[in-house]
Structure 1
Amino acid sequence: MILLNLIVSLVIIVRCAYSKPDFYLIETKNTIGKVHSDIRASDYPEKDTDDNSAESETSTEDIILDCKCGKENINVADRIVGGEDAEMLEFPWAVAIVMKGQTIYGDKFHYHVCGAVLISSKWVLTAAHCSHDDKGVDWKIENLSVRLGDHNQDVKNDTKIEIIREIDKFIIDPDYEKSSLDNDIALVKMDREVDLMLYTPVCLPELNKEYKGKAYALGWGWTKPGVINSHAKILQKIKIKIRPFENCKRQYPKVTERMICAGVLNGKKDTCKGDSGGPLTVRLKEYQRRHVLAGLTSWGNDPCAAPGFYGVFTKVSYYIDWIYQTIRDQTESVKFCQTE
């Protein structure tokens, strides 16, 4: 998250962490995934499915557990936030896509790549561009994992519930465009379930729901624009405002109706590299002030937090049918928390 006023330079950047760390990638022989380009066409459904297909005849059971989605672990209803540290486990749906690595001495660790958000017991959402590096080269799925229950990324298991889940499938929206970052959304299926009574998921929005006003963005991304690997150690939170589409379009002509702009005019609050795929949420009265997922951090101006420029987020409500259909086609039973 960024709190600096900077000279405006109208360069568009994606907001994943692409700089190469000082480690070697672990080449896993026992892989569970494929290179991303191999799974796009055949391993997940198109948005419009044939009702007569064999897949549509498969019945998937939705299991609604006795837990509430989008519920914070502390009450921060009206506190002013601006790129400050989140409380430990304040937002339990905030998770990370991490890369397996090891030092030249053989010590294994996980390196932060992108943000993500927990939506069910086995699924997280992230940005589609988190599947490849800044040159468009796809990561190998077996080198990526999902980290849940984290707070300070420099302190191992400081929350006492930090866990790593391997990735079973990384399913990119079939209409995703690397060049324009349109349809920048992906579903990630973890290899094992997590306990939703412990790891609270975010609430999903209604189809094509429009949101305005205050929103919350989270991430472990860069805190100093242009400074490589200046990731926040502790999960950061900012309160920003969702902006009208017309304002967004004037700023960025390539913005589509599948995107949201959010930020502040003075440029003191913004998402940045490493925050990609992380949640933009709104708190709604009809959800008892719990958090509903409005967007996923996608791209924005370079440098981040420049006055007069907002961050751009993938509009999640546009993809709700695709999200549910894909999950049900890939999972025998789906566990969610209650929305009411």
Structure 2
Amino acid sequence: MTALSKYERLETTGLWRETPDAQRREVVVSFGNATIVLSDMNNTALAHWSLHAIHRLNPKQRPAVYSPDEDDITETLEIEDDTMIGAIEEICAEIERHRPHPRRLRWWLLAGSFAMVAALAFFWLPGALLRHTLSVVPEVKRYEIGQTLATKIKRIAGQPCSTTNGNRALAMLEERLSGDQEVKLLVLPAGMPKATHLPGGFILLNRALVEDYEEPDVLAGYFLAEQLRSQLTDPMEPLLRSAGVRATFGLLTTGEIPDAVLDDYAEELLTAPQTPLDAQILLGEFQSASLRSSPYAYAEDPTGETTIELIEADPFITTAPTPVLSDGEWVALQNICSE
């Protein structure tokens, strides 16, 4: 201990009272090994007080009165010597600085615990909440949310196109390409990208896909692409990511999503870029559906530069697959927005 070694030869006299009823006795006060030594005038040690336990009873008063036990004040020592008082104060202060502080340790442990909980809440909880919510939302609720979103999109993109023969052709296209999936196709007149999809199996198509192309393979290609996107990523996931933790928790606990959240997401859907699809996976879908991929590829990029893989690896580049729709059905579908 640096301070103790500095005062190891320091001595003074003081008045020692061994018990509250005893007479005060003059003693020699010196420093021992981490102790204060009290000796009589014949240099016989009378008491050793631990410097770690010594306690001053009257701070800033003279004479300074010390006790070896803060809790049981039966033994006291009075010292007048300012040098000795300063030495004891300095040594005790140094001991205090190096003493473990349980309260401080508890505070730091508590602060660390709060920080860990906050970090978990910030980084882990949102993802865990999202995954759990996605796993428990039933199909009927997904369909209800998709239907609500479709209604909100209609206010921007217009009412779905509908004719008797056109609806029949659209149903034929659904049956031809959806397999065992529940799909609801809607053709909207304006204000939306070429295609997008919603929870509950809704696929929305721009009327340009039925009016601007000579063959139904383009429309069918966009149908397949959106169907694949809905298979690769749960359609509820981007909605809940956009909605945030509070709305996700609300859906989990009440089964409802605020109307304003759905309004915002409906507008976001109409402007957000589509998620790119892996060409090899998409080609597998075209192969399974007996559908040419090149018409879709050229509709996506008329130059063919960014969709060259879909063009060169078209599974039906040399053979003709079963037509998606008959000529009559395609004509009816092309006129679905005419009324």
TM class, shorter-length: under 0.3
The TM-score normalised by the length of structure 2 is: 0.23
Largest Rg, 1 or 2: 2
The TM-score normalised by the length of structure 1 is: 0.23
Which of 1 and 2 has higher RCO (CA within 8 Å, sep 6+)? 1
